Amino acid sequence: MDLPFFFAFTYLLPFSVYHVIQGFVSVFFSDFAIKFNESLYGFKPKETEQLKMTFKPWGSLAFAIGIVGFVILSNLDKYFLFLIPLAILLAFRAGYRFLYKGELRSYWKVSSIQNWRMILIQILGIVVFTIFTISRL
Amino acid sequence: MADNKTLKVLLWFVAIYHILIGLLGIFAKDTAVFIAKNFFNFNLTLTPEMDWIINPFSAYVLIFGVFIAVIATDVKKYKNMIYVAVGLFALRVVQRIIFMISAPDSLISTIDPVRNIIAIGVVAVIGLFMFLLARKMD
C-alpha cells in the first residue's frame, strides 16, 4: 500500500471540503461566517463591520484553494508540486497561532486546547504533504 | 507557442504581484492600510480584529501567488489550474463591484473612483486573457 499517497489523500480531502465551505460561507454569508468561525475556532470578535468585508476577498481565496485541492485530488501524482504551497500555508497558519497564542487567549477568547488542537492538525498536514512530495520527487 | 509564452509572462506577473502583496502583509503589516486604500479601495482601520485577520489573509494571498508560479512552470500540464485562477479573478471582479455599490461609506476609501474602476478593469482583462490563452493553448 502506498502510505504517503493514502495519508496525503486522506488529509487533503477534508482540507479541500473545509476550504470550499469556509470560502463559500465567508463570501456569501459573512454574518453567518462570524458565527461559523466562532463555533469552529472559538473566535469571539468585537468589531465585525470591517471583518465581514474582509471575509469576502479572503473567502474567495479560501474557496479557490479548496477547488485547487479537489483538482489535486483528481490526480495526486500529476499535481503533487501544488502540495508545497499548501504545506507552506499550513506552516504560516500554525506559526501565527503559536506566535499569537497569548493574544488569541486573552482578546479572542480562544482556549489553549482549541489553539493547540488546530496547531497539531496543521503540523500533521505539513508532515503529510511534505512526505508525499518527497516521495514523488 | 508564442501564446504559451504570453500566458507564462502573464502568470509570472500575477504570481509576483500576489507574492509581493502577501509578503508585505506578513512582514510589513503597517503597510496594510496603504495597500488596502490604494489597491482595494478599502478604508482600513487597524482594529485588533483586522490586525489579526491580516496574518492569515496575507498568507493566503502569498500562497495563491506561489500556486500561480507553479502553474507558470508548465502551463500545458497545469491547464486546469489556470481555470481555477480565472474563476477567482471573476469572483473578485464581481466582489469589487458589489463593494463599490453596497459597502458602508466609512469603509470605501476616498481615492478617485475612476482609479478604482480602472483597477477592476485591469483584473477583468488579465482574467479574460488568461482564460483565452489557456483555451487556445497548443
**All structural domains of chain B with their residue ranges:** 2-136
d(CA B102, CA B59): 27
Sign of the torsion formed by the C-alpha atoms of A45, A51, A56 and A59 = negative
Whether residue A82 contacts residue B63, with contact meaning beta carbons closer than 8 Å, is answered with no
List phi, psi (to 5°) of A38.
-65, -45
Identify the three-state secondary structure at position B110.
coil
Whether residue B67 contacts residue A68, with contact meaning beta carbons closer than 8 Å, is answered with yes
d(CA B129, CA A16): 27
pLDDT tens, position by position, B40-67: 778 888 888 888 889 999 999 999 999 9
Phi-psi region of B42 (alpha: psi -120 to 50; beta: other; left: phi over 0): beta
The model's pTM: 0.91
pLDDT tens, position by position, B75-85: 999 999 999 99
pLDDT tens, position by position, B23-44: 999 998 888 888 888 777 788 8
The shortest CB-CB distance from B91 to any of A60, A89, A103 is to: A60
Residue for grid cell 473567502: A59
Q: Which residue of A20, A46, A51, A54 to mutate against B (max B Cβ within 10 Å)? A: A54
Q: Which residues of A touch B104 (CB under 8 A)?
A: 49
**Would you call B66 an interface residue with chain A, using a CB distance cutoff of 8 Å?**
yes
- Closest-CA distance, B38 to chain A, in angstroms, reads 15
pLDDT at B106 over 90: no
Share of chain A above pLDDT 90, in %: 66
**Would you call B80 an interface residue with chain A, using a CB distance cutoff of 8 Å?**
yes
C-alpha grid cell for residue B99? 463593494
Inter-chain touch B57–A50, beta carbons under 8 Å = no
Q: Which residues of B touch A46 (CB under 8 A)?
A: 48-49
d(CA A81, CA A94): 21
